[in-house]
Amino acid sequence: MTRSKIARLAQSGIVVIALMVEAQIVLAHAIVLEESPARNSVVTGPNVPLKLRFNVRIDAARSRLLLFMPDGSSRELAIKPQSAPDVLTADADGLTLGVYKLHWLVLAADGHITQGDILFSVRNP
């Protein structure tokens, strides 16, 4: 085998290994598949049910939902008992007109922590 063929095989092997490692990293993190309210949606208040469904099982006891209010204050929301191992739900009650940010931080069953934000607006009837 010539040196150029060996070099090409080595480069190909490195690319394959890099792609496999990247795929493992992506698969190891919880990704939101479904959210309610939907990102950037407008919902009717004052009571808003929240639901997040992920691509993996979530440890609800070690996960957090934090709601940021229009005035900049925040409050932690109580996570309800899980209806499914990949779902978190909570109730956000007493919301007034304005833009809210739901910050989620979850621990997946494989031990990886993932977090994100969902913005939504509340209008009152």
Q: What's the pLDDT score for residue 23?
A: 39
- How much is the average pLDDT of 101-111? 95
pLDDT at 29: 87
Q: Which CATH class is domain 31-123?
A: mainly beta
**Does residue 56 contact residue 86 with C-beta atoms inside 8 Å?**
yes
Numbers of helices and strands, H then E, in the chain = 1, 8
Q: What would the mean pLDDT of 68-85 be, rounded to a whole number?
A: 97
Res. 109 pLDDT band, cuts 50 70 90:
confident
pLDDT in tens, 11-49: 655 544 444 444 344 456 899 999 999 999 999 999 999
Strands 48-54 and 32-36: antiparallel
